């Protein structure tokens, strides 16, 4: 119990610090207690932060939601279909495909960023929305997880029954398999969402147009300009606080689906 409390505090202190810092005036940042409030200034800070640079921060947040939300949704769908196919259909080369995908799990995303940049350069597509979005919908780990899950959670007998009732393969996937695989799909979605949200290196290399930046890259850029525009120090903190809100919302909304085993008891 004590250990749990200690670790909870350990993990929550940085967030607490961020929350407190975002409510302070700039002058109070270094001069007052870092873990307790001084004059409350949160509303003014929020207004100034979202208004700086022609209101570019809300745009960054929206971009991040599009990259992460859209990318995770599409990525989950692709990974789910791929994993399901690998688990439920027998075809030559199945294990080879799976092993290659599995190999993909081992390649860090950072190592792929530069080759991707050169590839996108050849089709003149760097500095576009797609240059960040398309690489984001690929999730080898998702394929792995959904295959393992589908193998155990989607019974052959159920698929057989669906086929006998005249359901096509695609319809069976969307009406039967997806529901049974839901806990795994939610997991893949959350992992992918967080991975894209935090992916900093790919946008850093690909993007030069400020209006396309995700919030991570935008805040980093501001942070490197602090010496020229001192107000930015506070804006970076307030922006960081804003940027974790969507993550918290997504987790709170989706965690209930984690209570897995939707298919338990469906058969017997």
User: Between 167 and 221, whose beta carbon lies closer to another protein?
Assistant: 221
Distance CA(156)–CA(80), nearest Å, equals: 17
We find the least distance from the C-beta atom of residue 58 to another protein, in angstroms, to be 17
Q: Which stretch binds another protein (CB under 8 A): 60-68, 101-109, 180-188, 248-256?
A: 101-109
**Given candidates 8, 121, 198, 255, which one binds another protein under the rule CB under 8 A?**
121
Q: Which residue matches tokens 């409390």? A: 5
How many whole angstroms from its chain centre is CA 55? 24
Distance CA(207)–CA(216), nearest Å, equals: 12
- Phi, psi for residue 48 in degrees, rounded to 5: -65, -40
- The DSSP output letter for 116 is H
Answer yes or no whether residue 264 interacts with another protein by CB under 8 A.
Answer: no
Answer yes or no whether residue 111 interacts with another protein by CB under 8 A.
Answer: yes
Interface mask toward another protein for 214-243; x: CB under 8 A = ---x--xx-xxxxxxxx-xx----------
Q: Which stretch binds another protein (CB under 8 A): 16-24, 59-67, 125-133, 259-267?
A: 125-133
63 burial type by CB count under 10 A (0-12 exposed, 13-18 middle, 19+ buried): buried
Answer yes or no whether residue 93 interacts with another protein by CB under 8 A.
Answer: no
What is the torsional sign of CA 247, 251, 12, 108? negative
Answer yes or no whether residue 125 interacts with another protein by CB under 8 A.
Answer: yes
Q: How far is CA 107 from CA 83, 132, 172, 193, in A?
A: 19, 18, 33, 19
We find the least distance from the C-beta atom of residue 14 to another protein, in angstroms, to be 15
Query: Nearest-CA neighbor of 222 among 102, 108, 56, 9?
Result: 56
Answer yes or no whether residue 70 interacts with another protein by CB under 8 A.
Answer: no
Answer yes or no whether residue 130 interacts with another protein by CB under 8 A.
Answer: yes
Q: In the complex, which residues of this chain contact another protein (CB under 8 A)?
A: 26-27, 30-31, 53, 100-101, 103-104, 107, 111-112, 114-127, 130-131, 134-135, 137-138, 140, 204-205, 207-210, 217, 220-221, 223-230, 232-233
């Amino acid at each position: 119990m004590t250990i749990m409390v200690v670790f909870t505090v350990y993990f929550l202190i940085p967030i607490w610090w961020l929350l407190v810092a975002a409510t302070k005036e700039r002058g109070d940042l270094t001069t007052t207690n870092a873990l307790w409030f001084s004059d409350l200034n949160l509303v003014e800070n929020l207004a100034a932060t979202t208004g700086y640079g022609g209101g570019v921060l809300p745009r960054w947040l929206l971009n991040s939601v599009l990259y992460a939300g859209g990318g995770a949704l599409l990525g989950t769908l692709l990974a789910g279909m791929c994993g399901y196919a690998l688990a439920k259909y027998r075809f030559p080369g199945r294990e080879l495909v799976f092993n290659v995908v599995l190999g993909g799990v081992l390649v860090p995303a950072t190592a792929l960023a530069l080759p991707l940049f050169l590839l996108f350069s050849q089709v003149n597509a760097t500095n576009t929305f797609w240059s960040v979005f398309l690489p984001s919908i690929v999730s080898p780990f998702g394929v792995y997880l959904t295959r393992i899950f589908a193998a155990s959670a989607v019974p052959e007998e159920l698929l057989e029954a669906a086929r006998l009732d005249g359901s096509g393969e695609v319809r069976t996937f969307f009406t039967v398999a997806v529901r049974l695989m839901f806990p795994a799909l939610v997991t893949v979605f959350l992992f992918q969402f967080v991975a894209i949200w935090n992916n900093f290196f790919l946008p850093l290399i690909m993007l030069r147009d400020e209006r396309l930046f995700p919030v991570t890259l935008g805040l980093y850029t501001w942070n490197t300009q602090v010496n020229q525009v001192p107000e930015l120090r506070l804006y970076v903190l307030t922006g960081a606080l804003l940027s974790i809100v969507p993550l918290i919302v997504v987790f709170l909304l989706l965690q209930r689906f984690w209570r897995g085993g939707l298919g338990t008891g469906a058969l017997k």
